[in-house]
Chain A
Amino acid sequence: MTARASAGWLTAVAARAEAPVFLARGIGTADADARLRASPRLRVLDSPRAAAVLVVAGCVPTELAEPLARVHDQMAHPRATVWWSGAGDSAPPVGWSHATIVGPRDDIEAAVVAAYRDVITGARCSEQTLLPDVDPAPWRGVGPYGHGGTGMTGGIPYGRPMAGRGDDRRDGLTLDVVLARIGPFFAHLPEGLVLEVTFAGDVVHDLTVKTPPVAGVDGLGARLPDDAVTATMAPDRAVPVAAIELARARQHLRWLARLLHLYGLDALARLVATKALSVPREPQELTALTRRLERCWALGWATRGVGVIDGVSAALWGGPVARAAGIPRDARANSPVYATLGFQPIVHANGDNCDRWRQRLAEAVQAIELAARAGTAVTEPGETIEPAAPPPPADFGDQLAALLIGTEWGDAVATIASLDPDVNAAGYLSKGATV
């Protein structure tokens, strides 16, 4: 069933537009964002409303099945789903029989474009609502005080209560606070993470991390293979240094592409995403990009002094976050093979958002250099390998709350994005070890 019958020529023209895509990232989808973003035939949107194709990447835990269905329902008609995980010939998950199934190594771009063209031209039906069509709160007639007006459901207007007041932490003006649950498919949060945010105006009044990092998920679909992870998760084998470092560079570049999109630099994000898909083997190929970003005063201006993490908490975060705060902690510094390659950890001083993107960019360049120099060198079996994005500290939620309460929402999102906590890294490592 199509939502409407449009003129044939109109749909023919519309079908040739860039396919507007909303990406629902499941678990284990480090590659997905960059692969869609690098394609000039697709347009990755931040909101599902104007999207025509929902791309579900990776494994969606069963507890996220309902939010996924809701995001699907929020899309405008005509809409189609592409399920990008598992084997190409496997059956679609229950309830999603209408979806196109794409294997992890298949051409996702072609599949999305085909799904988009078919659903726009009417060759494929627009998908129905998945969740039951019931209003958020049942009609309870007239409220206890005879609260009147049209559409009133017993004192709770239109099925939802009104916001309540909360004391303000910043200027003592007691106005309303709004509880909102952001995620799990919000584009700039780590995949699967739900933040329960209380907004006082646009300032984060209170914040709780709701969904704990999901380890060893069983759910809809399966993980997409991710060489960035596989390269760093074999502690009992000798791994080529070049593979590890290229994977590191890839992961940093993917992250940078997302961050640039967050700051509105979509064309640069596309450039970086392209580089992340095929990491250049010569560090010189990144110098132009580095220079461009270092000279972009607006990017420095937007990130300087925001989300400062230093001292003890920086050490807890570890990895690039710690090094951006001037703590030269890096497992590679203790490795004999890295010593022969002349490895020195890169550090920055301030530990803010600005130093974090500089840190990751510099580490990407360094990783390419190391990979070029490493030749066929391998790590020693059992050696600790520095992950590109280490798992977040155990008290991740408290750390985030301490960092973000009282900040403006834009700063809060930017800080979370710059930290890039790999909330599922622990799950990967444990699973990898058992293989």
Chain B
Amino acid sequence: MTATAWWGAIAGVGLAIIVGAYLVAVADRAIASVVAGEPMRSSILAGPARSVALGLVQSRTTTERPDGAAWALAPALYLGLAAAALAVVPLSETLLAADIENGLVLFGAAQALAVIPVFLNGWSPNSILPLIGAFRFIAQALSYEMPNLLALLSVSVPASSLSIHDIVASQHGLWNVVRLPLGLPLFLFAAASLAFWGPMNLPDGADLAGGTQAETSGLHLVAWRAGRAAMLVAAAAMGAAAFLGGWLGPGLPGWAWMVVKTLVLLVLLVGSRHVAARVRAERYVVISWAVLIPLALLNVMIAAVVAL
């Protein structure tokens, strides 16, 4: 790997995260306008930038006796893990930031580690509502983690590889979304849960006055929202690569296909916030274990039978 390629990979992933997170914010506003039956305003495009500016202008609030270091680390680590997860997803057959033999496991590890910053963001302020949000998220994480990993595992069976590049290549002719029909819904469920987005927003819900973000303001809050958007981008990119054939497709260049497929999944994920109500914590856990994990195991068995 040359030095130019090394720096280029880092810059490329950084750019993808920033652009992707901004697109998430724009898509969120656009879908909200459609749902609310309002005309599209110019603020849909410029709004996120203005919110970031507000975050820079606003002061940072604190509480009586917070765990300051852990609190400061939370949004930074969450955003960093999203970026690291995105880095293993190939943009095209030749363009990929980090070609790793066990890329799928690295992606899973980055997602698993993302539990920690969310917990810390709620634990650190020493305030009861964020604290409840933090513990809710651990329950949530323990429930979506298995469907997530099993859905990822199922795509590695036909490819006989844990490298995401090989997994995309294995979909030549037949995409995994057709071959493993249960995989993509399970993966998207886990993706929305990981970014606690929309119906899966248990830790930051309105019943907790914002939950883990209830005591935050200014740039901390902006970074937190950016981290969630980035996590959605990473998951959508992975979903496009693992289930929708990544760069494969006729006509357009590979990277364009990848971008299009990622955007489709991103719109699906972002839109879920405006059409589905937040689920109850306990029911989420029970349904995950009693229904989704058996389905995910079934999906792995289907993958085994299909791949044979």
Task: For the complex, give the distance between the alpha carbons of A299 and B128 in Å.
Answer: 27
**Overall SS of chain B's interface:** helix
Chain B residues with Cβ below 8 Å from A178 are 128
Task: For the complex, give the distance between the alpha carbons of A46 and B283 in Å.
Answer: 24
Chain A residues with Cβ below 8 Å from B101 are none
Task: For the complex, give the distance between the alpha carbons of A296 and B272 in Å.
Answer: 11
Q: Which residue of B lies closest to A11 (CB)?
A: B57
Chain A residues with Cβ below 8 Å from B60 are 76
Bitwise interface map of A from 46 to 84 toward B, beta carbon under 8 Å scored 1, else 0: 110110100000000000000000000011111000000
Task: For the complex, give the distance between the alpha carbons of A102 and B54 in Å.
Answer: 25
- Assuming the A-B contacts A18-B43, A188-B206, A202-B132, are A265 and B274 also in contact, with contact meaning beta carbons closer than 8 angstroms in the complex? yes
Chain A residues with Cβ below 8 Å from B41 are 40
Chain A residues with Cβ below 8 Å from B50 are 13-14, 16-18
Name the distance in Å between A28's Cβ and chain B's nearest Cβ. 23
- Assuming the A-B contacts A17-B54, A120-B54, are A76 and B207 also in contact, with contact meaning beta carbons closer than 8 angstroms in the complex? no
Q: Which residue of B lies closest to A259 (CB)?
A: B277
Task: For the complex, give the distance between the alpha carbons of A323 and B207 in Å.
Answer: 26
Task: For the complex, give the distance between the alpha carbons of A419 and B265 in Å.
Answer: 38
Bitwise interface map of B from 6 to 43 toward A, beta carbon under 8 Å scored 1, else 0: 00000000000000000000000001110111100101
Q: Which residue of B lies closest to A13 (CB)?
A: B53
Interface residue from A47, A49, A160 paired with B64 (Cβ < 8 Å): A160
Chain B residues with Cβ below 8 Å from A11 are 53, 57
Task: For the complex, give the distance between the alpha carbons of A413 and B276 in Å.
Answer: 19
How many chain A residues touch the partner (CB < 8 A)? 63
A255 at the interface (CB under 8 A from B): no
Would A120 and B32 count as touching, CB distance under 8 A?
no
Task: For the complex, give the distance between the alpha carbons of A262 and B217 in Å.
Answer: 21
Chain A residues with Cβ below 8 Å from B53 are 10-11, 13-14, 17
Chain B residues with Cβ below 8 Å from A160 are 64-65
Task: For the complex, give the distance between the alpha carbons of A256 and B279 in Å.
Answer: 18
B301 at the interface (CB under 8 A from A): no
Would A408 and B281 count as touching, CB distance under 8 A?
yes
Give the contact stretch, choosing among A88-96, A267-275, A276-284, A358-366: A267-275
- Assuming the A-B contacts A306-B280, A408-B281, A409-B132, are A267 and B61 also in contact, with contact meaning beta carbons closer than 8 angstroms in the complex? no
Chain B residues with Cβ below 8 Å from A4 are 57, 59
Interface residue from A14, A199, A298, A411 paired with B277 (Cβ < 8 Å): A298
Q: Interface range on chain B: under 10, 10 to 19, 20 to 34, or 35 or more? A: 35 or more
Interface residue from A14, A157, A302 paired with B57 (Cβ < 8 Å): A14
Name the distance in Å between B215's Cβ and chain A's nearest Cβ. 6
Bitwise interface map of A from 225 to 266 toward B, beta carbon under 8 Å scored 1, else 0: 000000000000000000000000000000000001111111
A45 at the interface (CB under 8 A from B): yes
Would A301 and B283 count as touching, CB distance under 8 A?
yes
Would A40 and B43 count as touching, CB distance under 8 A?
yes
Name the distance in Å between B278's Cβ and chain A's nearest Cβ. 4
Bitwise interface map of B from 207 to 219 toward A, beta carbon under 8 Å scored 1, else 0: 1111001111110
Give the contact stretch, choosing among B109-117, B140-148, B197-205, B238-246: B197-205
Interface residues of A in 309-332 (CB under 8 A from B): none
Residues on B facing A (Cβ under 8 Å): 31-33, 35-38, 41, 43, 46-47, 49-51, 53-54, 56-61, 64-65, 128, 132, 135-136, 198-199, 201-202, 205-210, 213-218, 221, 273-283
Contact sample, A vs B, 7 pairs, CB 8 Å cutoff: A11-B53, A20-B54, A49-B217, A50-B216, A158-B64, A264-B277, A271-B36
A46-B206, A47-B215, A410-B280 given; 11 more Cβ-contact pairs under 8 Å: A10-B56, A40-B43, A49-B216, A202-B281, A263-B277, A270-B32, A298-B278, A408-B281, A409-B208, A410-B208, A411-B280
